[in-house]
Structure 1
């Protein structure tokens, strides 16, 4: 028998031998025939030799995010709220944007988010003649609209539509002036805030409420009402707890006005901001019951961390502590998220004064039945010769009936020159004079809530006719806050917004090339308006949205007046950090922005919608922003920065 001779095997270079091959090599020399099988002995990575196994590459960690302008849809309408609240449907790649100027919802195709196009509208007139759409929400292809009746104090409606065909599916009646609405996470329930604002002349004042709507069968939605009737007769108790109940002759149910709603991750609990009341309502969704009214407290602007600019005259950046001035948080938008097994509430502290009948000459002529305006400048409140000089101008008749004038506490306001019976320099424009405050709070009262009267010398005197203001209450917190499920303050951004806008680090414009401080506290509907909003509510944070990226939670806060979006990392609720600010207003110097509407950019962000990458039309996370003054819907791309 013949034999085939094999050449001697040569040991391969050490760099070519994996652990399993190395162990097998001596045996292969003795069993030459198995040389043919040598290539089959692959390195499978399951060696017991841990020292020689390659370590896996570390996963990238998200360190930050940055906004950039991707696309924009423009209605061509200025100052008429032609783009307010956005929603997004991933299946159709459509954005649904409330156009209050039309009273409808614009439907935008975002298949190419760099170039949104109008493809249709949702018109609520089929539900009720003269009806207008106030807000929109979307879940799993169902679009929900909050629909205001032609007479806003009448009960409104919610309409449900298909996102693909725009066909009406079902409708249901709700309370007066339905505004913000939102689905529970499972999509089976829809909640709507029925604000219940009074008529402009304050002759009709409907009750506020929250409608809890079963939409498991969208063709036949069923609504229940979570109302505030249980607090009627308990107005004094609410006031003592810090809830603002102050409308003329209003019951608690009439005075409480739900604005915006957030829902817990498990869908069991909701919270509604009661903006004008500086409070929250907590709602048990299963029973459709308001279980608590939670006061939000006040922000001490006398602290350095809460410093603010309070004057627009002369125009200047003057951020400083103001002892005796308290901010009413008065949040507009609210959102909920979970951290460490707990629910936290994130709020944009806009502030909003009651102002009804302000365009009625009869009200300013002294007819208190024709309206109610609570806003008043400090310089007019503290006139040494009393209120009479403001009659027929801006003096609310309710204040005129309360006293002949008012004083500033000389101890609290000694820092700006107040003395007994004289406000001193406190009422100067460069000090507190220009600041708008509420006259309804801050003056000294007795145990029954009646004002304690003083004479013109500053002495307490039952026969006197002067109020004594121990504190002044300004509108809004000029910040955003994080609170726990019971409404307790966990964290607040303090004076960070105004401080950053006044810093050298801040830049505005699509290219981020315009110094923010050049246009500090500008208004959204006027050009060349440096410092014009400092006497009111500053940058005025209004909209808020939450997004999760790379295991982190981010808050996006729209600044209504200054414009743009602030971004914070709120992963740790007790220690949020600033991440980015992006403002796409391009023209800041033209006196009338409406004359450069095609190039001015975005003015007055109202509503924001985060779109996760796996839902996005281009596979990247987006932020959709409705801008009510410029009538534009901006599409921001969110760049993720990894380390």
Structure 2
């Protein structure tokens, strides 16, 4: 086993870096904890060598956190379960011997909470109120803050739509909490919408319509970025001042160019990637940051999401709408099932003059991962159609999802493997994780594809220095079959 010395100043000690090959990740362990929804998100504690996993199942009324002995990833076993007396646990994060759980209220429109546990004995340290529906949670790198993305989803009839927010909890200040919303941007709504921000919930204010999904935090713990998935944007938060400073609309992807060629029908006799006169809304779920000099590069998994409620449904198939004859002169052809007829699009965009005829078609998600400048919001890279091409070549592409959001990139994690920065992108509908070398964040390079369980939701990287095997580890947690898979690379 070879090691190399990490680059550092002459006054700093040399930390050994394992000389691993990031293109050789292979499965070394698997555990099935059962039930649909059983293994949604995982968090790891290096001190106790334990893995904490969200274990929820509505049918079986299961709502708990499983504790897994992770000292030997090839022989994982469940040793304990933590059962919160409340609504479902949505997300977990670990720092300095503390496990933080984001827990929704039994009534999702009511404020949720964060409960912090001791990772050694599972005792409760503190419970803190948050905004409605805390969907994702993370500690800041320095461990001083806990942040939750409070999605604030509306009720089924869309008559109760809570404000979307981010709860910022100060660990060292007795877990005091500040809820940050986006009401301060309401006056900019028109200008932001021109750049691709979506504000469209019926009777919703600007603040109510924003739905925070996922958070990443800068290495210096001073800045956070939050995906606003349904709104097609990323928000920036100053942790020091506890304020939202920017909203970056993400615009739209053009599927009518060769590099973005996609299959948009599940009834066309197979997988065929073609150009189409359709736009994609990026609508990212997970986000991660890689600091490179003065630029924080934001990596997003562009899953896409649809508002589907009893009181409001935005999606329709192309064959169920009317196309503008000027924009689509052969309207009957693109509306056939084997063309665009089966494609789900939003009815909230595309009919600019309100005459009931759609000049432009906007579909959900971008079937890719992207890299954005965290200072300006500008895109610096998109994987175009590569994720779908690679999964199709491997036999993992699900043609039954072509009319919806394709492979649905959902989870993303970054990590240093050897001396290379690596990105891992989990694809919910391909049941796979793509591995990329992102040492140059403006030009990621594909390395390999890993088969996961059914619908990987959580993608977690454990650095070699924290790993029980002293080698880099990747953990994929899958929500549809409750399977946790562990992968590790070979050494050079």
Q: TM-score range by the shorter chain?
A: over 0.9
Q: 1:210 aligns with which of 150, 163, 166?
A: 166
Q: Deviation at 1:216?
A: 1.7
Q: Superposition RMSD on alpha carbons, in Å? A: 1.6
Q: 2:381 aligns with which of 486, 491, 494?
A: 491
Partner of 2:340: 432
Partner of 2:225: 271
Counterparts of 1:142-291 in structure 2, within 5 Å, are 142-216=98-172, 220-232=174-186, 234-291=188-245
Task: Measure, in 2, the Cα distance between the counterparts of 1:61 and 1:614.
Answer: 12
Q: Deviation at 1:267?
A: 1.1
Partner of 2:313: 373
Q: Deviation at 1:214?
A: 0.3
Partner of 1:12: none
Q: 1:436 to 1:247 in 2, by over 3 A?
A: same
Counterparts of 1:38-117 in structure 2, within 5 Å, are 64-77=22-35, 80-101=36-57, 102-117=62-77
- 1:264-309 superposed Cα distances (whole Å, 9 cap, x missing partner): 1111111100000000111011111111111001000001111110
Q: 1:295 aligns with which of 244, 249, 254?
A: 249
Contact 1:336–1:344, Cα closer than 8 Å, also in 2: yes
Contact 1:93–1:617, Cα closer than 8 Å, also in 2: yes
* Unpaired segments ≥5 residues, structure 2: 1-16
- Structure 1 residue 635 and structure 2 residue 474: aligned? no
Task: Measure, in 2, the Cα distance between the counterparts of 1:260 and 1:520.
Answer: 26
Q: Deviation at 1:339?
A: 1.8
- 1:130-160 superposed Cα distances (whole Å, 9 cap, x missing partner): 3221100001111001011110000011111
Contact 2:391–2:430, Cα closer than 8 Å, also in 1: no
Q: 1:61 to 1:99 in 2, by over 3 A?
A: closer
Q: Deviation at 1:76?
A: 2.5
Contact 1:239–1:245, Cα closer than 8 Å, also in 2: yes
Task: Measure, in 2, the Cα distance between the counterparts of 1:338 and 1:241.
Answer: 25
Q: 2:436 aligns with which of 560, 563, 568?
A: 568
Task: Measure, in 2, the Cα distance between the counterparts of 1:237 and 1:69.
Answer: 48
Counterparts of 1:445-594 in structure 2, within 5 Å, are 445=353, 451=354, 453=355, 467-485=356-374, 486-503=376-393, 506=394, 516=395, 520-521=397-398, 531-584=399-452
Partner of 2:286: 333
Tell me which of the two structures has the higher relative contact order, counting C-alpha pairs closer than 8 angstroms and 6 or more residues apart.
2
Task: Measure, in 1, the Cα distance between the counterparts of 2:18 and 2:84.
Answer: 48
Q: Deviation at 1:103?
A: 2.1
Counterparts of 1:616-627 in structure 2, within 5 Å, are 616-627=467-478
Query: Partner of 2:334: helix, strand, or coil?
Result: helix
Partner of 2:9: none
Task: Measure, in 1, the Cα distance between the counterparts of 2:477 and 2:490.
Answer: 20
Task: Measure, in 2, the Cα distance between the counterparts of 1:111 and 1:432.
Answer: 50
Task: Measure, in 2, the Cα distance between the counterparts of 1:638 and 1:98.
Answer: 26
- Structure 1 residue 408 and structure 2 residue 328: aligned? no
TM-score by length of 1: 0.71
- 1:515-574 superposed Cα distances (whole Å, 9 cap, x missing partner): x1xx532xxxxxxxxx10100011111000011012211000001011110000111011
Q: Deviation at 1:471?
A: 1.1
Query: Partner of 2:388: helix, strand, or coil?
Result: helix
Contact 1:238–1:245, Cα closer than 8 Å, also in 2: no
Partner of 1:609: 460
Q: 2:91 aligns with which of 123, 135, 141?
A: 135
Query: Partner of 1:247: helix, strand, or coil?
Result: coil
Task: Measure, in 2, the Cα distance between the counterparts of 1:556 and 1:354.
Answer: 27
Q: Deviation at 1:62?
A: 5.7
Q: Deviation at 1:87?
A: 0.5
Query: Partner of 1:254: helix, strand, or coil?
Result: helix
Query: Partner of 1:532: helix, strand, or coil?
Result: helix
Task: Measure, in 1, the Cα distance between the counterparts of 2:179 and 2:164.
Answer: 10
Contact 1:235–1:251, Cα closer than 8 Å, also in 2: no
TM-score by length of 2: 0.93
Q: 1:318 aligns with which of 272, 284, 291?
A: 272
- 1:440-475 superposed Cα distances (whole Å, 9 cap, x missing partner): 101122xxxxx2x3xxxxxxxxxxxxx232210010
Contact 2:259–2:384, Cα closer than 8 Å, also in 1: yes
Query: Partner of 1:432: helix, strand, or coil?
Result: helix
Task: Measure, in 1, the Cα distance between the counterparts of 2:22 and 2:468.
Answer: 22
Task: Measure, in 1, the Cα distance between the counterparts of 2:288 and 2:443.
Answer: 17
Moved over 6 A (4+): none
Task: Measure, in 1, the Cα distance between the counterparts of 2:109 and 2:288.
Answer: 27
Query: Partner of 2:348: helix, strand, or coil?
Result: coil
Task: Measure, in 2, the Cα distance between the counterparts of 1:67 and 1:201.
Answer: 46
Task: Measure, in 2, the Cα distance between the counterparts of 1:562 and 1:179.
Answer: 23
Q: 1:282 to 1:111 in 2, by over 3 A?
A: same
Task: Measure, in 1, the Cα distance between the counterparts of 2:325 and 2:467.
Answer: 57
Task: Measure, in 2, the Cα distance between the counterparts of 1:611 and 1:61.
Answer: 15
Q: Deviation at 1:73?
A: 1.7
Q: Deviation at 1:617?
A: 1.1
Task: Measure, in 2, the Cα distance between the counterparts of 1:94 and 1:63.
Answer: 26
Task: Measure, in 2, the Cα distance between the counterparts of 1:336 and 1:409.
Answer: 44
Larger Rg: 1
Query: Partner of 1:315: helix, strand, or coil?
Result: coil
